[in-house]
Amino acid sequence: MKIFGLFILITSLIYFYDFFTEFTEIIIEKVTTITPPLYSSSNPKVCTVTDSSYTPSRPSKDESMPIPNSQFIYSPKPFEIDDTENLRTLGLSCIPDSFGYSIEQGQSVFPYHGYPKCSVLNNQNDTYLHIDRNKNILYMDCPNGNRGKVVTGPVDDRKLAKGAEVYDKWKVKKYDGEESAEGIEYGLATCEDDNEYMQASLVPIFNETAFNISKSKLNSKPRIIFFLTLDSMSRRHTFRKTPRIINFLNSLNANPSSNYSVFDFKLHNILGPDSISNQVPIFGGLDHFSPEFSGDQNIDRLGDAALWNILRNKGYITLLGLENCDNYFPGALGRKPQVDYSVNPFYCAVQKYTPTRFDKYYELQQRCLGGHQTHWYILNYTRTVAELNRGTNMFLYNHLNSAHESSGLHAETLNDDVTEFLDEFLESFGKDHEIFIYLNADHGMRYGNWYKDLDAYTEQKLPSLFVIADKKLLDQYPYSYYSLATNSQRLTSKLDLRETTLFLAGVIEKTPYSVNLLEELSPITRLCEHVGIKAWDCSCIKMSEILEPNKIVKGVVDILKDYAENLINSASYQHPFYPLGSVCKKVILENVTKIYHVNINNVNEYFKLEIESSARKGMKFQINYTLMSDNANKKRSSFQYRFENYAYNAPVRIKILSISRIDKFAGPCELIARNHGIKAEFCACVDA
């Protein structure tokens, strides 16, 4: 008893300490495994939200059973951007108010740009640098017999690399005629005496040992499970920017002699805000995901939980290809995920030796390398890997970054290339393999000026997911068609893809957060919390209006109003570049005209306020806030604005998620503000 009392004392001391400092996390984590923290959703007795009548929702359940293939005919209408509206009649517990920009808004925010073909832009059809695996040589065929310069890789045995780790490792050589391509997987070159290495070649080195092992484990028709991931493509953006892909998918469903069925997952919600928090849990499950880890980085961080390791044991050849050179995937996966084939350092070389970049701030610059878009090289590599390993099981993951930029327009360049790739891939490998493709996005766009729109915010949460599946494969699972068709109209998320992928390879892995899309139904009552999605990533959070706020709510709303006022003025009236009030007047937030609210749980809530100011005629803001007294999203980087702490009946942190103007603020003042680099929405101009 004494020991228990001491334990309680120590525990409460630690909790107490935590109110004042953030450096106790490690200790707290240890303690929370024994007893939940005071302020947390796992301690429902403590309630720090304004509405204390909150009751947690019940687990989701669906008694209905899938219908067998023998009694169900899948014949969908052609997929259209707006057919998500049909979901409203299905009685789903999770149904977003908006699925994103309307067609008209979408056209004006993301007008057609019309990127020329790289072959036209650079006046060459292919590349002048080649790796010929038959002769195992590297050679150039520059116009006019020019001889330029070349760099080659890999430069070390990392499968993935953070840019800084490889940046100084390449060596530029003068090109002196053909050379051995032994151990060379990629090269960049220029035919001129300049420093723009726009000629490229990326060709896998065949691993015959791996092929033989894979072959020896084969006991049925080989499968290809393929994640073709288009970074930053919401479902709607896919319809807007890559209509040829959509037409191609529709043609597969429409053609009676087609060997494939396609499913359009209309309510596929993100699991986290960025690429890794969505895709890495597919690779390794939710438990193994962390954005960074310490210690030896040259490891396969996901270990035995990694899809590539589980699937390789089942005889799959594995490929992990990333068209980028960022720090996130290497940080979450380690540098040596044990895949048979990988692409990533090549794109670091592209960043170093060409003017092309893969990060989001790189706007309106077309990403060409020779006669092709940069993404073409990884697609060609993947096709070659599949060709070399024809007749074996394969797990392929490609991550294309063409839509990962802030204008939202460059996604257009995927339209032809991905369509042609898919068409050829199915044609070429469909005879020998049962193909199952997830044509998916990690998340929707999450940057750019337009991102402040609420509709854009929703789109970020609703990435595209199309499943393209060989009919002969689906026929082997008695409930597959009805299950896929039904699930495509219900809430799904990333963890479902993991369970389904493992199932396809003959491995059963049940989790509380996932369903097997091929033979289970996502329940009608499924909510984000049932899928492992946090409230701030959920597309279907419903707010209700508070018409008669009580005293507590009034008090909180006043604090929220002051906080927003400070924030708005700090970016306009008090803008650090200009003397106080020289461009924008002080904005005083006056009347709160609407209060919307939702409880997430006992320690998290959302507010949305509409607030007027007389600083300009009709000036009106809509502001979303999250309030929390647990540590749930402290480290989340994608929030735009800083945290504000306040104590009301507990230490609560407030964060503003978005501030938008709902009056028409366009006009002379908007221009003045923009010319000064000030957020126009926040500025009440001194003289306009």
Ligand X SMILES: *[C@@H]1O[C@H](CO)[C@@H](O)[C@H](O)[C@H]1NC(C)=O
Catalog residues that contact ligand X under the rule CB under 6 A: 97, 123-127, 207-210, 212-213, 257-259, 380, 383-384, 387, 431, 454, 457-458, 543, 590-591, 608, 612-614, 624, 657-658
Which residue lies nearer to ligand X by CB, 430 or 651? Answer: 430
Helix ranges (H only) for 181-266 are: 208-216, 235-241, 243-254
Question: 285 or 463, CB closer to ligand X?
Answer: 463
Q: How far is the CB of 641 from ligand X (least distance, A)?
A: 11
How far apart CA 52 and CA 74 sit, in angstroms, is 47
Please provide the size of the chain in residues: 688
d(CA 361, CA 405): 6
As measured in angstroms, the least distance from the Cβ of 1 to ligand X is 48
Q: DSSP string spanning 494-546?
A: HHHHHHHHHHHTT-----TT---TTT----TT--HHHHT--GGG-TT---EE-
For 276, residues 6+ apart whose C-beta sits below 8 A from its C-beta are 289, 291, 328, 329, 331, 332
Q: Considering beta carbons, is residue 69 or 624 the nearer one to ligand X?
A: 624
The DSSP element (H or E) to which 394 belongs, if any, is strand 393-400
Backbone angles phi, psi at 346, to 5 degrees: -55, -45
Distance of CA 472 to the CA centre of its chain: 31
Least distance (Å) between residue 23 CB and ligand X: 29
Q: How far, in Å, CA of 561 to CA of 567, rounded?
A: 10
Q: Shortest distance, CB of residue 67 to ligand X, whole angstroms? A: 26
Rounded to a whole number of angstroms, the minimum distance from the CB of residue 608 to ligand X is 5
Closer residue to ligand X in complex, CB, 64/220? 220
Beta strands in 219-315 (DSSP E): 223-230, 260-264
Instruction: Quote the CA–CA distance of 301 and 334 in Å, as a whole number.
Output: 5
As measured in angstroms, the least distance from the Cβ of 124 to ligand X is 5
Nearer to ligand X by Cβ, of 125 and 290: the residue is 125
CB of 252 to ligand X, least distance (A): 9
Cα separation, 127 vs 201, in Å, equals 8
Measured from the CB atom, the residue of 195 and 212 that comes closer to ligand X is 212
**CB nearer ligand X, residue 142 or residue 454:** 454
Q: Is 155 helix (H, G, I), strand (E, B) or coil?
A: coil
Residue 176: CB minimum distance to ligand X, A: 22
Rounded Cα–Cα distance for residues 101 and 234 (Å):
11
Distance CA 42, CA 381 (A): 48
Nearer to ligand X, 410 or 534 (CB): 534
